[in-house]
Structures are given as C-alpha cells and as structure tokens.
C-alpha cells in the first residue's frame, strides 16, 4: 500500500492570515484523488508564513522525519519553489528523498516524464525561484527606501518607547503618536542623566524602585535600554531610517562567552554611516538642546571609560568563568586602592542580577590567580616532554578509534530513538505535544554526536604529522624559555592567548584548561605567532585565594 503525503508553504504572515495556503491544499488533494490516493490528515504538511530560503521549517522537518523513517512513499508538491527557494536546498532535499525511495511529484510538471528532462526542469525552476526571491528582496529594499524618503514612518514597523504606533487604516498613512505616560518616563530619563548627572546604572535602579516598566514590561531596566533611549534622535523629532545594514559575520578566534561555537546566523546587523541614513520627521518629546547635552555627556563618559580601560590591563581578561553558574569572572579594582584587584562573578553583582538569581561563588585575589596561571604556563614550557606526552596521549590511534566507534554507536542509537518516537506518533500512541517535547532534545543530541564524530575523524593524525607537531612544540619551548624570567605583561598576555583555553573558578578549586595544537605553530607572515587548539587540563587547589 502506497503511503502518500503532500507539502504546502506560503512565505509571508500576510499570506498565512489570508489563508492563501488553502488553495494549494485543495489542488494537492484533487491531484492525489485523481491518482487514486487518499491523504490522511497526519500526512498533510503545511508551513504557514515560513520563508523558502530557510531549511529549518516545522512541517518540513516533520515530513523529513517520516521520510527518513520510511513512512512516506510519495509526496505531492505544487511546485519546486514551494519546497525551497534555494537551488542547493532543493537538490539536498530531493536527493534525501530519493535515497529513501520516496517519489516527489510537482503538480506544475504534469505530463513531463521522469528522466533527465524532468531533472533539468526542476533545477531550472529552482534557479528561477532563487532569482525571483533575490529580486523580491531588492524591490522591497527599494520600496522601503522610497517610503523613507517620502517621510513615512511605516518603514519602521513599530515605534520606540514613549510613542504609540498607529497603523495604516481607512486611507490614512501610518503615524507615531506620543504616549502621555511613557513620554514622561522618557523625559525623566533625560532629566536624571543630563541635569542630575546620574549614571546609567543608578538611573536603572531609580526606574526599578519607582515601579516604571520597560518596553518589554519588566521592572528591571538594563543599561543598554537606557542608552538606546538617550541615543535615539527620534525623541527630539528626527527618526533615522537605515541605521543598520546586513553584513557577513566576521570570523573570530573564539566565540564570545555563552555563544555557540558555530553561530546560527551567517549574517549580522552592523551600523551604517550617518550619510547613509534617511531622516523622517516625527513628534518631539524633548528639546534638541537636551538631547545634545546627553550626547556630549555620553561621548565624554565613553572617552573616560576608554582611558580607564587602558590603565587597567588584566592578564586573565576573557579567560575566567564561574564554575558554579557559568557566567564570566571579571576583574575589578579594590575600592579605595588602585594597587589591588580581584576577579568576581558577574552574577554576584547586586546591580546586575535579581536577589533570587544571584550567584554565591566567592571572588579571588587577582594577583594570586594570575601568578598561579603564569607559574603553570612556565612549568608547561620548561617541560616540553609533558606537552609531547599529552599530545601523544590525546592522539593515540587506538584511543581515537575507540572514541570514534563509541560516538558512531551513540549516533546510531539516537537515530533509532528518533525513529521509534516517530513510529509511536504515527501509530497514535503519543500525542503531537509529546512528540514536540521530546524530538528537539534528540535532535540536539544527534547534532552533538555528529560534531564529535567529525572531531575524532580530524584527530586521527599520521605518525609524520605527530612527529612534526612534537618538533614544533620543542621549538616553541626553546624560543620562550630564556624570556620567561624577565617576561613583561605583553609577553605574558600573548602566551595566555596562545596556551590558555579557559579558567574555571569553583568553590574549592580552580581548573586551568590549557590548549595545545595538532600543529602548534602554523607559521604565517609573522613567524613568532601561531594558533593552538587542543586542551591540556590542569587543576590548582583554591587554598588561600579568597580575600
């Protein structure tokens, strides 16, 4: 018995609200009935308001799960651009379906026999769909820019704090109206900053104590939210369109704390030049003179902050983290004494974190912690045999092969669990709510196992490569051993960047996680620098580190 399904998709939320997807579903049902198939409700996959440029769509993921489990033999789709707007995504999905012996039928290709001609037509449709999407984006950008030049606030889509956005209705253009209550809060923020000379943190505390909610409805204001209010020229009557633009994400040496190693979005928003922005007149809440006063004060504070930051250089900045809550450990100067500093958890700060979420991990003396890390680096560099021994241990062929087999076995088990979960759902033994609750975690486990397998495959070094790595490690040790006793702050910082992965501060111990490379120094234009990637764990007892 042939198991049949269909897939339908519309791009925009407006199309979803107008139920234009119903016409696709009707056409797909009629075609399947004409072919003699009755499609059940649980095999009708519809993505309402999802872009075809994205591969991660709920209904598409559910359909791919069932295809992978062998529960679907034939799929009806209106056209190739409904499956995906990217040619590469189309080819990926069609190849995936073909490997599972699942036939895909496009309604707009009726009468065209299967073969090279049909494949060519599908690829041409995918290329045209991708071209059409690019043109739509171009026309949208041009239309929004034209509306901004005409002075229409509809290009923003929403209003900032202190205004009410009135959408277009009954032939009247969209507009911003001043909120009588929130506009007073905006004036209060400028008053506290400009006239009373309060800091952003004290302003946030004052707003919280006064019971004033932010735009998200929270009583706890963040300093960045207040900074956005003080820096927004719309409050004196000139809203700026095009303050940011989409740009490719730049590669970094390591991800920021709390961010995944592989970012989800390949593009990010970056600020534009003032000459690229378009001015739109809106109702004013404050005078321009007060806004300029706030801007000048913010510039002065920014310069003072840069000067203070240049004076306070901390050796372990960016490496320390809390072993209890995972937040960053940042360095602070001791109050009343600029000679001493200490590292403390950010979540222990009363001005940053609510009382119930505050971390109780203690601070550590900065000088003692930095000396401990530096001593460990010196011992590591003075004993190259330790580096070689650890590198050989980490890349022992038998160990790597065993880890690879275990990772592959775990990946197979996770895939079987996903298949069993889908089988239970298709047999109506579990509800869709239960499926949605359990499937994402299994997907995450499957992704982690794939990354581990890839890592172990890369760690399978040859004997020549390992010998080359050992030789370069000895070169590194010989190069810096003579300078360790007289090392200045810059050299210490450079060696920390090369050798330290992170420093975890726990209640009773401090764990220093060092890193060593496959090829320690991959020499570039500057032959004194390189890149290190692997880890060497080292634990130091925390005795005597608390002030």
**CA-CA distance, 76 to 32, in Å (whole number)?**
7
Evaluate the CA torsion angle 67, 68, 73, 76 in order and state its sign.
Answer: positive
Q: Is the pLDDT of residue 462 over 60?
A: no
Span of 123-137, 199-213, 364-378, 425-439 with lowest mean pLDDT? 123-137
Q: How many CA within 13 A on the CB side of residue 468? A: 11
* Same domain for 247 and 141: no
Average model confidence (pLDDT) for the chain?
A: 78
The pLDDT of 375-404, averaged and rounded, is 70
Is residue 158 in a domain?
A: no
Count of C-beta atoms within a 10 Å radius of residue 499: 21
- State the pairing for strand pair 74-77/103-106: parallel
Q: What is the CATH number of the domain that holds 173?
A: 3.90.1750.20
Q: Is the pLDDT of residue 178 over 60?
A: yes
Is residue 315 in a domain?
A: no
| pLDDT score of 258 | 57
* Same domain for 378 and 265: no
| pLDDT score of 393 | 63
Domain range for 333 is 320-361
* Same domain for 336 and 287: no
Long-range contacts for 124-131 (Cβ within 8 Å, ≥24 apart)? 125/79, 125/80, 125/81, 126/80, 126/81, 126/84, 126/86, 126/87, 126/90, 126/91, 127/87, 128/81, 129/52, 129/80, 129/81, 129/84, 129/85, 129/87, 130/85, 130/86, 130/87
The pLDDT of 176-191, averaged and rounded, is 92
Q: Is the pLDDT of residue 57 over 70?
A: yes
Q: Provide the token pair at 370.
A: 């930095």
Is residue 429 in a domain?
A: yes
Is residue 171 in a domain?
A: yes
Of the pLDDT bands very low, low, confident and very high (cuts 50, 70, 90), residue 8 is very high
Of the pLDDT bands very low, low, confident and very high (cuts 50, 70, 90), residue 114 is low
Residue 151 backbone class (left: φ over 0; alpha: ψ -120 to 50; beta: rest): left
The domain boundary, picked from 146, 178, 199, lies at 146
Q: Render 62-125 in DSSP notation, one character per residue.
A: HHHHHHHTT--SEEEES-HHHH-SSHHHHHHHHHHHHHTT-EEEEGGGTTPPSSHHHHHHHHHH
Give Rg (Cα) of the chain.
Answer: 30
- Specify which residues 175 forms β-bridges with: 166
For 435-450, write each residue's pLDDT tens digit: 888 888 888 888 888 8
The pLDDT of 175-197, averaged and rounded, is 91
For 351-364, write each residue's pLDDT tens digit: 666 666 788 888 88
Q: Is the pLDDT of residue 483 over 50?
A: yes
* Same domain for 381 and 352: no
**CA-CA distance, 243 to 524, in Å (whole number)?**
37
Nearest to 417 by CA among 448, 438, 447: 438
| pLDDT score of 28 | 92
* Same domain for 376 and 524: yes
* Same domain for 471 and 456: no
For 275-318, write each residue's pLDDT tens digit: 888 999 999 999 999 999 999 988 888 877 665 554 457 888 88
**CA-CA distance, 97 to 64, in Å (whole number)?**
8
Q: Render 485-512 in DSSP notation, one character per residue.
A: TT--HHHHHHHHHHHEEEEEE-SSEEEE
- The answer to whether 454 touches 383, Cβ cutoff 8 Å, is no
* Same domain for 127 and 72: yes
* Same domain for 437 and 333: no
- Residue 410's H or E segment, with its range, is helix 397-426
| pLDDT score of 464 | 53
Which runs of consecutive H residues, i.e. helices, occur in 150-242? 182-190, 200-209, 223-230
The domain boundary, picked from 115, 146, 177, lies at 146
Is residue 235 in a domain?
A: yes
The domain boundary, picked from 430, 460, 490, lies at 460
- In eight-state DSSP terms, residue 3 is -
* Same domain for 220 and 120: no
Is residue 92 in a domain?
A: yes
Which runs of consecutive H residues, i.e. helices, occur in 176-278? 182-190, 200-209, 223-230
* Same domain for 407 and 502: no
Count of C-beta atoms within a 10 Å radius of residue 502: 17
SS3 296: helix
* Same domain for 535 and 413: no
Is residue 152 in a domain?
A: no
Q: What is the CATH number of the domain that holds 72?
A: 3.40.50.1390
Q: Is the pLDDT of residue 163 over 90?
A: yes
Q: Is the pLDDT of residue 70 over 60?
A: yes
* Same domain for 381 and 489: yes
| pLDDT score of 387 | 63
Domain count, the chain: 5
Nearest to 519 by CA among 508, 504, 511, 530: 530
Is residue 448 in a domain?
A: yes
**CA-CA distance, 419 to 412, in Å (whole number)?**
11
Q: Render 420-454 in DSSP notation, one character per residue.
A: HHHHHHHTTSS-HHHHHHHHHHHHHHHHHHHHHHH
């Amino acid at each position: 018995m042939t198991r049949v399904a269909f897939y339908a998709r519309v791009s925009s939320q407006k199309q979803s609200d107008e139920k234009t997807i119903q016409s696709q579903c009707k056409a797909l049902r009629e075609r399947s009935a004409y072919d003699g198939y009755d499609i059940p409700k649980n095999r009708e996959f519809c993505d309402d308001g999802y872009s075809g440029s994205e591969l991660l769509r709920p209904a598409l993921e559910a359909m791919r799960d069932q295809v992978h489990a062998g529960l679907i033999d034939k799929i009806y789709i209106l056209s190739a651009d409904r499956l995906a707007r990217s040619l590469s995504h189309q080819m990926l999905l069609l190849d995936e379906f073909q490997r599972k012996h699942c036939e895909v039928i496009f309604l707009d290709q009726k009468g065209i026999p299967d073969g090279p001609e049909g494949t060519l037509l599908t690829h041409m449709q995918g290329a045209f769909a991708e071209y059409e999407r690019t043109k739509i984006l171009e026309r949208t950008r041009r239309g929004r820019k034209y509306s901004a030049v005409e002075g229409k606030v509809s290009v923003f889509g929403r209003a900032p704090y202190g205004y009410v956005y009135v959408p277009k209705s009954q032939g009247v253009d969209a507009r911003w109206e001043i909120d009588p209550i929130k506009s007073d809060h905006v004036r209060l923020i400028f008053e506290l900053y400009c006239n009373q000379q309060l800091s952003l943190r004290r302003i946030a505390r004052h707003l919280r104590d006064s019971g004033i909610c932010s735009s998200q409805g929270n009583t706890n204001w963040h300093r960045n939210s207040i900074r956005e209010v003080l820096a927004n020229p719309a409050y004196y009557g000139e809203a700026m369109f095009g303050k940011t633009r989409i740009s490719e994400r730049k590669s970094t040496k390591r991800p920021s704390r709390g961010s995944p190693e592989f970012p989800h979005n390949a593009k990010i928003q970056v600020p534009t030049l003032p000459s690229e922005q378009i001015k739109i007149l809106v109702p004013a809440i404050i005078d321009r003179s007060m806004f300029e006063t706030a801007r000048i004060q913010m510039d002065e504070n920014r310069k003072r902050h840069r000067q203070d930051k240049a004076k306070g250089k901390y050796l372990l900045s960016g490496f320390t983290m809390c072993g209890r809550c995972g937040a960053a450990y940042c360095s602070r100067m001791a109050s009343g004494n600029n000679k001493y500093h200490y590292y403390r958890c950010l979540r222990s700060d009363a001005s940053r974190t609510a009382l119930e979420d505050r971390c109780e991990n203690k601070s550590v003396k900065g000088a003692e912690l930095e000396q401990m890390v530096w001593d460990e680096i010196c011992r590591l560099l003075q004993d190259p045999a330790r580096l070689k021994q650890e590198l050989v241990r980490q890349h022992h062929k038998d160990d790597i092969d065993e880890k690879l087999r275990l990772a592959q076995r775990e990946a197979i088990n996770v895939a079987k669990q996903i298949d069993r979960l889908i089988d239970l759902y298709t047999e109506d033994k579990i509800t869709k709510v239960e499926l949605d609750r359990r499937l994402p975690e299994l997907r995450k486990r499957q992704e982690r196992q794939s990354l581990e397998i890839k890592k172990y495959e890369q760690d399978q070094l040859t004997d020549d490569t390992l010998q080359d790595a050992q030789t370069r490690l000895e070169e590194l040790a010989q190069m810096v051993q003579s300078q360790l006793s007289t090392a200045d702050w810059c050299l210490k910082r450079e060696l920390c960047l090369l050798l330290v992965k992170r420093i975890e501060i726990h209640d009773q111990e401090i764990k220093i996680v060092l890193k060593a490379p496959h090829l320690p120094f991959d020499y570039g234009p500057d032959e004194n620098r390189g890149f290190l990637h692997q880890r060497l764990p080292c634990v130091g007892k925390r005795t005597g580190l608390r002030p």
